[in-house]
Chains A and B, each alone.
Chain A
Amino acid sequence: MSFAIARTIDEALAGLAAGARPIAGGTDLVVGARHGKAPLPDDLVAIDRLDELKTVTRTALGVSIGALVSHHDIETHPLLTSIYAGLADGSALVGSPSTRHVGTLGGNIMNGSPAMDTGAPLAVMGAEVELRSLRGTRRVPVEQLWVGPGRTCAAPDELCVAVHIPAPPARAGSAYVRLEYRRAMEIAVVGAAAVVTLADDGAVATLAVALTAVAPIILSVTGLDALVGLGVSGAAAAVGEMAATQATPISDVRASDRYRRHTVGVMARRAVEAAARRAGGETIAIPVNRAIGIGAPS
Chain B
Amino acid sequence: MTDTPIHAIHLTVNGIDYPVAVAQGRNLLSVIRTEIGLTGTKEGCDDCECGACMVLLDGQPVNSCSYLAVQAQGRAITTVEGLADGDALSLLQRNLLDEGGVQCGFCTPGMLLSATALLQRNDSPSEEEVRIGLSGNLCRCTGYTKIVAAVQRTAVEIRAAARQA
A interface residues, Cβ below 8 angstroms from B: 1-3, 5, 23, 26-27, 30-31, 33-35, 39-40, 42, 44, 46, 48, 72, 95-99, 101-102, 183-185, 298
Shortest CB distance B58–A (Å): 10
Shortest CB distance B72–A (Å): 10
Contact, CB under 8 Å: B51 / A98: yes
Contact, CB under 8 Å: A98 / B114: yes
* Chain B residues closer than 8 Å to A185, beta-carbon distance: 48-49, 135-136
**A97, B129: Cα distance in complex, Å:** 11
Contact, CB under 8 Å: B71 / A98: no
**A101, B63: Cα distance in complex, Å:** 10
* Chain B residues closer than 8 Å to A98, beta-carbon distance: 51, 54, 60-63, 114, 136
B interface residues, Cβ below 8 angstroms from A: 1-5, 7, 24-25, 27, 46-49, 51, 54, 57, 60-63, 65-68, 70-71, 73-74, 114, 117-118, 128, 131-133, 135-137
**A97, B47: Cα distance in complex, Å:** 16
- Interface residue from A23, A34, A48, A95 paired with B47 (Cβ < 8 Å): A34
Contact, CB under 8 Å: B47 / A30: no
Q: Which residue of B lies closest to A96 (CB)?
A: B136
Contact, CB under 8 Å: B128 / A23: no
Q: Which residue of B lies closest to A285 (CB)?
A: B128
Contact, CB under 8 Å: A40 / B73: no
* 10 new A-B contacts at CB < 8 Å, known A26-B67, A26-B71, A183-B135: A1-B5, A2-B5, A26-B68, A27-B66, A30-B66, A34-B47, A42-B2, A44-B24, A98-B60, A298-B135
* Chain A residues closer than 8 Å to B73, beta-carbon distance: 5
**A96, B66: Cα distance in complex, Å:** 13
* Chain A residues closer than 8 Å to B4, beta-carbon distance: 1
Contact, CB under 8 Å: A1 / B66: no
